[in-house]
Structure 1
Amino acid sequence: MSDGYAAMAEAARQAIAYRRAVATAETTPVATYAEMLAAFSAPTPERGGDPQAIIAELAECATPGIRASTGPRFFGWVIGNSHPTGVAADWLTAAWGQNAANLQAAPAAAAIEAVAATWLLDLLGLPAEASVGFVTGATVANFVCLAAARSEVLRRVGWDVEADGLFGAPPIAVLIGEDAHATVYSAIKYLGLGAGRVRMIACDSSGRMLTGDLERAIAERTDPTIVIGQAGQINTGACDPFAEIAPVANGMGAWLHVDGAFGLWAQASPAQKHLTAGVDLADSWATDGHKWLQTPYDCGFAIVRDAEAHRRAMAITASYLPPAEGAERDPSAYVPELSRRARGFATWAMIRQLGREGIAAMVESHSAIALHMAERLVAVPGVALVCPVELNQFMIRFGAADAATLATIRQVQEDAVAFIGSAQWRGHWVMRVSVTSIATTMAEADVTVDAVISAWERVADTQ
């Protein structure tokens, strides 16, 4: 029987072979859930097995059902490439087995988070005094930031929500754009703020919050208020007009939070930074590392201007947990987890891998690719662009009815040259294209466009 080290070597061999294959794959087929369930289903093991053989079996069974999201022609969702450098750092993270709970338990993990946090604030053009929590992704980042917001707006009216909860607390008004992402509503729900109690702010045709409607809504309220903006609408890529809405929120004493899961990274690009102008005036920001920073899953960042509000909402204390002293940074003071992965290692590695110039070039390249793809597609009869391309997202409709669009998407997925998905926008089905992987080049984009055009022509012939 081989030992665990042989299993680790087998995992590395299998992983490298997979990544090399998917990088040059001509097609992107994937097995169904039912097929995968059948492949793995078996009675509960009574005895242990050989470690290397177990890993080999895992790779053999799972690979047919691995969606090629790290490949060059994956446009289905806003998913990064899990860059090999980040993956390698993540392997070490798993091997080291550090629980990034506090700086005595994991001093290297705590220190690298402190450094990576400073780099992130610099790259994103956010206040240097802000605190950063390393979380699973933007969903939890929104939760953490809004927990800090809830704590602070209630503190201002004399209520300690951490000690006294929400029973009897002053109500909080939550103002949010009508085209906000679903995960923001999840955070609102988790925090007891009531997803059905929010006041929706009208948006324009690309999903940007209308400043005038926000002004009216915020002037009407008397309760402590949280305003939630958005950098990068999931379907259009549009960003709220922060230079307009931030002064409105700030002037009325409201907390402005920004869901910037991918769009906040426009801040790292001199060519795209105008899209997020004024975003640095907000009070908190949520963004992902596993999108435009290309780290492996899971990795996100909860960023809060008021570090004390952040700690007040999140800090975990116990007699057996050594407290941070002086300028030391305690990782568990900024996240809702005590036991957690040391996400700072992969974050540090990817910033070192790309650097300021590489991150900017990637954001700009993806934006150029999205525009190029859209321009080629709309030149085809019967194909329409739903909204102007602003960042890395765009939507396409085919023919005059939803049925033609859905049929074209199904045909593209069946052809398996590239993966693109569907979404609903303003009551109609669209093909939504997301350009987020560092593996995607202009040449791969052209292969994808050719495949989409071919699919549409076949569908059109049946109409």
Structure 2
Amino acid sequence: MDRSAEAAPALDRAHEHALAWLGGLDERAVPPEASVADVISALGTDLPEGPTDPAEVVDLLARAADPGLTAMPSGRFFGFVIGGTHPAAMAADWLTSAWDQNAGLRTVTPAATAIEDVAEAWVLDLLGLPADSAVGFVTGGTMANFTCLAAGRDAVLSRVGWDVGEKGLVGSPGVRVLAGAERHDSVDLVLRYLGLGAPELVPVDAEGRIDPAALRERLEDGDDRPTVVALQAGNVHSGAFDPFDEAIAAAHEHGAWVHVDGAFGLFAAASPAHRDLTRGFEAADSWATDAHKTLNVPYDCGLAIVRDPTALRAAMSMHGDYLIQDEAGDPFEKVPELSRRARAVTVWAVLRSLGRSGVAELVERLARHARAFADGIAGIDGAEVLNDVVFTQVCAAFGDDARTLDVVRRMMEDGTAWTSGSRWHDRAVLRISVSNWSTTDEDVARALEALRAAAT
């Protein structure tokens, strides 16, 4: 069988549709035009009795889905911190699918493992984290937090003689988790997955940064359970970063494991202009980030980074007699999945394409666009920027809640840009998240023009 001949017609059609989609993003309205029901109708609901030519399947898929697609890769999508897909990463992702490697075992998939080894070293170097840390390539920020906090849970219990792997959590001394009052909700979700319950919340300042004095007070309150402290690099509303120096020092004085949730903010460390935001974060025990946010690789790719590789492998690894394992360690030992995509390929591709200076420029450009949004909003009558814009997040209000929500609604109806509504400090806000590599000054100007119109 000539596999290339079999695959070529469908791949050619997919290539044509992909280029047409990308080529139309600049002028396309950002919100979708069709509903779920519309797309289902176009796809058809009856399972065919017989085969369909793969090229025809691709044509049908592209034609039916197009009206229901949100222009998330557009430079004018500011609704969530999700990034776009850098061209090098997109092409590498296509190759990843074609290679079809189950990237769990070093000996079985040496190319995928080699790429992962290089990408791991580059990430640690770029972020200024300990070079002997372990990096697990997981599905996204939530599973990165899960993986790191699982390692932390097991490690702090091990220090008091409790083996979670053997005994489970029932009957254990328990684990106390302290987190800032404005931590991301995915931290709570992960703690639920891990059987640890809700975190104890520590007061924060007006920008959402944890109060290190309040944290120290909690640590000294006489509760002697094994402890994990969850800090944050990039508040989802303000973009603010916790004061790592003081917070980590206090936590380590009391024997706590310190985890940093840096879904989009961790890459501030790669920018000389913004590195100070992460000052002291390298002293933590684990760090989580989404590569498909600031680094702009395709879904799904998160990075779980743990200072102690042994702790990570103790929490994540398994053994099977049928597996061909390597004494040097295998990629699957650092992640929850046994079978997994070769996610490191796209990370390697972006880092190889941009280089150190290119990643710094990307981070600085995103932050510059956020600052331009803040300056433009400040010039709109009745508008107010509510946060100190230190990174890539902007929160604005346009008077009372009713008027702010009306502006959010008008922006969505206009379609020029996607800017989401939220609540922060008990106020309705319009939230702008700048995370796409392709956003230009013109995109920002167009979005601001639409925002002025919506506000008047």
Instruction: Please indicate the TM-score interval, normalised by the length of the shorter structure.
Output: over 0.9
Counterpart contact for 1:3–1:52, Cα < 8 Å: no
Letter in 2 for 1:410: R
Please give the secondary structure, in 1, of the residue aligned with 2:50.
Answer: coil
Q: Deviations over 1:380-429 (max 9, x none)?
A: 21101111101000101012x21111111111111111111111112111
- 1-side partners of 2:438 and 2:330: how far apart? 35
> Which aligned pairs between 1:22-41 and structure 2 lie closer than 5 A?
22=25, 24-25=26-27, 27-30=29-32, 31-41=34-44
Counterpart contact for 2:43–2:60, Cα < 8 Å: no
Report the alpha carbon displacement of residue 369 of structure 1 after superposing the two structures with TM. Answer: 1.0
**Which residue in the other structure is 1:346 paired with?**
346
- 1-side partners of 2:294 and 2:354: how far apart? 11
Residue among 289, 302, 305 paired with 2:291: 289
Q: Deviations over 1:251-302 (max 9, x none)?
A: 1110000000010110000000111111101000000110111100001100
2:277 equivalent to 1:275: yes
Please give the secondary structure, in 2, of the residue aligned with 1:301.
Answer: strand
Q: Deviations over 1:408-463 (max 9, x none)?
A: 11111111111111111121110000000011112210111011001110xxxxxx
Please give the secondary structure, in 1, of the residue aligned with 2:289.
Answer: strand
**Which residue in the other structure is 2:405 paired with?**
406
Counterpart contact for 1:133–1:335, Cα < 8 Å: yes
- 2-side partners of 1:184 and 1:173: how far apart? 14
Give the TM-score normalised by the residue count of structure 2: 0.97
- 1-side partners of 2:187 and 2:112: how far apart? 29
Counterpart contact for 2:373–2:394, Cα < 8 Å: no
- 2-side partners of 1:37 and 1:27: how far apart? 21
**Which residue in the other structure is 1:154 paired with?**
157
Identity %: 45
**Which residue in the other structure is 1:145 paired with?**
148
Report the alpha carbon displacement of residue 37 of structure 1 after superposing the two structures with TM. Answer: 3.0
Please give the secondary structure, in 2, of the residue aligned with 1:432.
Answer: strand
Letter in 2 for 1:359: V
- 1-side partners of 2:228 and 2:44: how far apart? 47
**Which residue in the other structure is 1:364 paired with?**
364
**Which residue in the other structure is 1:214 paired with?**
215
Runs of 4+ in 1 over 3 A off after TM superposition: none
Q: Deviations over 1:312-353 (max 9, x none)?
A: 00012101111212xx34100100101110001111001011
Please give the secondary structure, in 2, of the residue aligned with 1:351.
Answer: helix
Q: Name the count of aligned residue pairs.
A: 450
Letter in 2 for 1:289: A
> Which aligned pairs between 1:57-76 and structure 2 lie closer than 5 A?
57-76=60-79
> Which aligned pairs between 1:26-105 and structure 2 lie closer than 5 A?
27-30=29-32, 31-105=34-108
Letter in 1 for 2:410: Q
> Which aligned pairs between 1:98-117 and structure 2 lie closer than 5 A?
98-117=101-120
Counterpart contact for 1:142–1:184, Cα < 8 Å: yes
Counterpart contact for 1:114–1:329, Cα < 8 Å: no
**Which residue in the other structure is 2:415 paired with?**
416
Q: Deviations over 1:350-370 (max 9, x none)?
A: 101111101101111111111
Counterpart contact for 1:110–1:329, Cα < 8 Å: no
Report the alpha carbon displacement of residue 16 of structure 1 after superposing the two structures with TM. Answer: 1.6
Report the alpha carbon displacement of residue 26 of structure 1 after superposing the two structures with TM. Answer: 5.1
Letter in 1 for 2:218: A
2:379 equivalent to 1:379: yes
Please give the secondary structure, in 1, of the residue aligned with 2:24.
Answer: helix
Letter in 1 for 2:291: G
**Structure 2: unaligned runs, 5 residues or longer:** none
> Which aligned pairs between 1:183-202 and structure 2 lie closer than 5 A?
183-195=186-198, 198-202=199-203
Counterpart contact for 1:103–1:324, Cα < 8 Å: yes
Counterpart contact for 1:376–1:449, Cα < 8 Å: yes
**Which residue in the other structure is 1:460 paired with?**
none
Report the alpha carbon displacement of residue 27 of structure 1 after superposing the two structures with TM. Answer: 2.8
RMSD of the alignment, in Å? 1.1
**Which residue in the other structure is 1:388 paired with?**
388
> Which aligned pairs between 1:210-249 and structure 2 lie closer than 5 A?
210-220=211-221, 221-249=223-251
> Which aligned pairs between 1:316-335 and structure 2 lie closer than 5 A?
316-325=318-327, 328-335=328-335
Letter in 2 for 1:65: G
Please give the secondary structure, in 2, of the residue aligned with 1:449.
Answer: helix
- 2-side partners of 1:422 and 1:148: how far apart? 35
Report the alpha carbon displacement of residue 106 of structure 1 after superposing the two structures with TM. Answer: 1.2
Report the alpha carbon displacement of residue 105 of structure 1 after superposing the two structures with TM. Answer: 2.2
Please give the secondary structure, in 1, of the residue aligned with 2:206.
Answer: coil
Counterpart contact for 1:80–1:438, Cα < 8 Å: yes
Give the TM-score normalised by the residue count of structure 1: 0.95
**Structure 1: unaligned runs, 5 residues or longer:** 458-463
